[in-house]
């Protein structure tokens, strides 16, 4: 097997996973995912990150083929999450002399996961590692999205190895570079990946982006998805926008509905939004749409409207669940509207109001509550809510 050369003497030795159905056993992978690893051949040989242990046999054969009889001198560990560090122990068995490069937090996890405490080379912020014709530089990026994360930069080839940052779901089908692939699906999946995995850590992402702004980066190698080159600026700007919680002009409507009455309210609100010039609307029935896709659209759009029937004096359970996931990610600066329904005792509006207060979001329009079936007055109130949200968005 001949490895793909990414830049001068830098080879791709990653793998595709088309078997796993749920990333982290949580997030759907309809198009699979790649685990990216890169091998640098200079005076010293340097491997940057490994792959999930399930693919260690293929991975090790790729490395052996790329080394072509040479030994492995260094393994740089930019991220210790098991989908990237799972093969370290087997790698060390095959190349017992390899020195493992990481920071102090990396080494605590390395011992915890693999029992490895020797043959280590610790680096700190701004440290360098000479490997021949080039010198690698290290930048700490804690909480993007684990505490040990760091980035590796090759100034000679102007290449950044960014751990999970700028990563996406989706396998690499035939190509590795973004110039070889249709990047539209990957850009879509970058938003979902960010919302699912990184979303809580907007402030650390912004700090990391500030560090990167001083670097001349022409090739961006994440541990998931394409190698970014032609669309590098777009990948970085997407992360910048998402980590600042800057939504596009549009609305995510999230609702639960047991017998269709709350759904009718959601339909009326959506109709009013469209009638008042809003074109980007994503409607999600929480009983059918996986939270992964709902979170994507919460991060994507400036406005969120949530509707829930009262259920055992609480919110509908799946509405409660998705609100908990949104709150966990500390999403900021959203316009918020809410509505609810009940048959004999209403509680959903009070609980949705409390959620909005906890999130410190701006409530737009008058909340709407429906008792039993949809009446003309309630329908009109829903239309007014949609109109009010459209007017607010059109001001932006």
Say what the pLDDT of residue 248 is: 96
Say what the pLDDT of residue 57 is: 97
**What three-state secondary structure class fits 89?**
helix
pLDDT string in tens for the chain (396-residue length): 678 999 999 999 999 999 999 999 999 999 999 999 999 999 999 999 999 999 999 999 999 999 999 999 999 999 999 999 999 999 999 999 999 999 999 999 999 999 999 999 999 999 999 999 999 999 999 999 999 999 999 999 999 999 999 999 999 999 999 999 999 999 999 999 999 999 999 999 999 999 999 999 999 999 999 999 999 999 999 999 999 999 999 999 999 999 999 999 999 999 999 999 999 999 999 999 999 999 999 999 999 999 999 999 999 999 999 999 999 999 999 999 999 998 888 889 999 999 999 999 999 999 999 989 889 999 999 999 999 999 999 997
Rounded distance, CA 117 to CA 69, Å? 27
* Cβ(296)–Cβ(192) below 8 Å: yes
**H/E element holding 159?**
strand 159-161
**H/E element holding 193?**
helix 184-193
Rounded distance, CA 136 to CA 130, Å? 6
Say what the pLDDT of residue 2 is: 78
CA-based nearest residue to 243, from 199, 197, 212, 213? 199
Say what the pLDDT of residue 217 is: 98
**What three-state secondary structure class fits 294?**
helix
**For 130, what's the count of Cα atoms within 13 Å in the CB-facing half-sphere?**
2
CA-based nearest residue to 128, from 110, 104, 108, 154? 154
Burial class (CB in 10 A: 0-12, 13-18, 19+), 143: middle
Strands 335-342 and 362-363: parallel
Please tell me the pTM assigned to this model: 0.95
Q: First and final CA of the chain: distance in angstroms?
A: 53
**H/E element holding 279?**
none
* Cβ(177)–Cβ(11) below 8 Å: no
Q: Which domains does the chain have, with CATH numbers?
A: 4-243 (3.60.15.10), 252-391 (3.40.50.360)
Q: What is the pLDDT of residues 147-203, one digit of tens each?
A: 999 999 999 999 999 999 999 999 999 999 999 999 999 999 999 999 999 999 999
Say what the pLDDT of residue 3 is: 86
Q: What are phi and psi of 66, to 5 degrees?
A: -70, -35
Strands 301-311 and 248-255: parallel
How many Å separate Cα 318 from the centre of its chain? 22
Q: What are phi and psi of 394, to 5 degrees?
A: -70, -15
Say what the pLDDT of residue 51 is: 98
* Cβ(18)–Cβ(32) below 8 Å: yes
């Amino acid at each position: 097997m001949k490895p793909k050369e990414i830049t001068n003497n830098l080879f791709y030795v990653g793998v595709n996973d088309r078997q796993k159905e749920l990333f982290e056993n949580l997030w759907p992978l309809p198009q699979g995912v790649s685990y990216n690893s890169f091998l640098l051949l200079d005076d010293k040989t340097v491997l940057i990150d490994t792959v999930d242990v399930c693919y260690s046999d293929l991975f090790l054969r790729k490395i052996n083929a790329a080394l072509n009889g040479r030994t492995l001198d260094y393994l740089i560990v930019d991220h210790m999450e098991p989908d990237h560090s799972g093969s370290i122990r087997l790698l060390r068995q095959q190349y017992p002399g390899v020195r493992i490069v990481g920071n102090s937090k990396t080494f605590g996890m390395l011992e915890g996961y693999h029992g490895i405490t020797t043959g280590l080379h610790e680096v700190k912020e701004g440290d360098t590692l000479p490997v021949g014709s080039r010198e690698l530089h290290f930048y700490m990026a804690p909480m993007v999205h684990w505490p040990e994360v760091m980035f590796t930069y090759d100034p000679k080839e102007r290449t950044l190895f960014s751990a999970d940052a700028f990563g996406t779901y989706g396998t690499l089908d035939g190509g590795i570079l973004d110039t070889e692939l249709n990047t539209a699906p990957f850009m879509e999946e970058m938003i979902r990946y960010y919302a699912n995995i990184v979303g809580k850590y907007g402030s650390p992402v912004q700090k990391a982006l500030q560090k990167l702004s001083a670097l001349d980066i022409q090739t961006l190698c994440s541990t998931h998805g394409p190698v970014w080159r032609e669309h590098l600026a777009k990948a970085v700007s997407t992360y910048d926008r998402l980590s600042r919680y800057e939504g596009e002009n549009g609305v995510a409507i999230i609702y639960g509905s047991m017998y269709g009455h709350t759904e009718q309210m959601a339909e009326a609100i959506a109709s009013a939004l469209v009638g008042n010039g809003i074109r980007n609307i994503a409607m999600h029935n929480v009983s059918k749409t996986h939270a992964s896709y709902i979170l994507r659209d919460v991060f994507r759009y400036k406005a969120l409207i949530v509707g829930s029937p009262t259920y055992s004096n609480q919110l509908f359970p799946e509405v409660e669940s998705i609100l908990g996931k949104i709150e966990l990610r500390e999403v900021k600066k959203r316009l918020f509207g809410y509505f609810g329904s009940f048959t004999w005792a209403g509680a959903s509006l009070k609980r949705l109001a409390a959620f909005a207060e906890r999130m410190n979001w701006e409530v737009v329009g008058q909340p709407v509550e429906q008792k039993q079936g949809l009446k003309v007055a309630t329908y009109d109130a829903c239309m007014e809510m949609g109109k009010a949200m459209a007017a607010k968005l059109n001001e932006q």
